[in-house]
């Protein structure tokens, strides 16, 4: 009896503080049912397209916007930051159907291999996904056969998105650096 009393008191105190915290948070938050924001059943979708990273010529879609003093002496161009607005097409050919654009930045983040830190949004422009986006953030070791990067979110039909992308170089022009990269996207969303 002597030992259960303090226990009961602490349980009561915990309950009271939980009630107080809940009462306070009532002013700015509440629990919603997923159906009230039209979230029904979670689906897994697969998307497949090609990204055109054009770094050369007058119509380049990827441009270097910043670099470190030592970037050009670095074998990996460590410190270079590139901003891009790359076309996403159904087939590897640039003139095949446009499904969206990959917009974002990549920086050379490794001093020992070509390893990019990537932050980008896929802005889809085709079919039911027109206007929806997926956000990707990850590491891209561009000379590995398959690079995987996490999908960290999305908008529109991709709200609450999570998943991963796999990037595989389709063609690369080693002189100009222009590349066509095949993307396989696996994404859970509602």
CB of 18 to ligand NAG, least distance (A): 46
| Contact residue for ligand NAG among 60, 76, 109, 126 (CB under 6 A) | 126
CA 41 to centroid of chain Cα atoms = 22
Please, what is the minimum distance in Å from the beta carbon of residue 124 to ligand NAG? Answer: 9
57 binds ligand NAG (CB under 6 A): yes
Among 35, 59, 73, 112, binds ligand NAG (CB under 6 A): 59
Does residue 117 interact with ligand NAG by CB under 6 A?
no
Contact region for ligand NAG (CB under 6 A) — 40-48, 54-62, 73-81, 112-120?
Answer: 54-62
Residues 6 or more apart from 115 whose CB is under 8 A from it?
Answer: 76, 108, 109, 139, 140, 141, 142
Q: Does 130 bind ligand NAG (CB under 6 A)?
A: yes
Regarding 85 and contact with ligand NAG (CB under 6 A), the answer is: no
Interface residue with ligand NAG among 131, 143, 146, 171 (CB under 6 A) is 131
> Rounded distance, CA 88 to CA 93, Å?
10
CB 158 within 8 A of CB 136: no
Task: Tell me whether residue 131 or residue 177 sits nearer to ligand NAG (CB atom).
Answer: 131
43-53 vs 179-189, strand pairing mode: antiparallel
Quick check: 58 binds ligand NAG (CB under 6 A)? yes
User: Binding residues for ligand NAG, how many (CB under 6 A)?
Assistant: 7
Q: 87: closest CA among 61, 105, 65? A: 61
Q: How far is the CB of 126 from ligand NAG (least distance, A)?
A: 5
Q: With respect to ligand NAG, which residue has the nearer C-beta, 60 or 83?
A: 60
Residue 125 contacts ligand NAG per CB under 6 A:
yes
Residue 72 CA to residue 30 CA, distance in Å, equals: 53
Residues forming a β-bridge with 129 = none
Residues in the chain: 190
In the numeric block, the tokens 């020992």 are attached to 112
Are 53 and 179 within 8 A, CB to CB? yes
User: Which residues of the chain form contacts with ligand NAG (CB under 6 A)?
Assistant: 57-59, 125-126, 130-131
């Amino acid at each position: 009896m002597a030992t259960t009393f303090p226990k009961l008191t602490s349980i009561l105190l915990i309950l009271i503080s939980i009630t107080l915290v809940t009462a306070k948070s009532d002013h700015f938050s509440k629990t919603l049912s997923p159906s009230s924001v039209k979230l029904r059943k979670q689906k897994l979708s697969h998307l497949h397209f090609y990204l055109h990273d054009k770094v050369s010529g007058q119509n380049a879609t990827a441009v270097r916007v910043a670099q470190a003093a030592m970037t050009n002496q670095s074998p990996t161009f460590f410190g270079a930051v590139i901003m891009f607005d790359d076309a996403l097409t159904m087939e590897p050919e640039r003139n095949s159907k446009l499904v969206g654009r990959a917009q974002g930045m990549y920086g050379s983040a490794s001093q020992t291999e070509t390893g990019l830190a990537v932050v980008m949004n896929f802005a889809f422009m085709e079919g039911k996904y027109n206007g929806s986006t997926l956000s990707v953030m990850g590491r891209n070791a561009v000379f590995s056969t398959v690079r995987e990067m996490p999908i960290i979110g999305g908008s529109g039909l991709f709200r609450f998105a999570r998943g991963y992308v796999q990037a595989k170089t389709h063609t690369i022009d080693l002189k100009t650096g222009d590349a066509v990269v095949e993307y396989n996207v696996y994404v859970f969303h509602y």
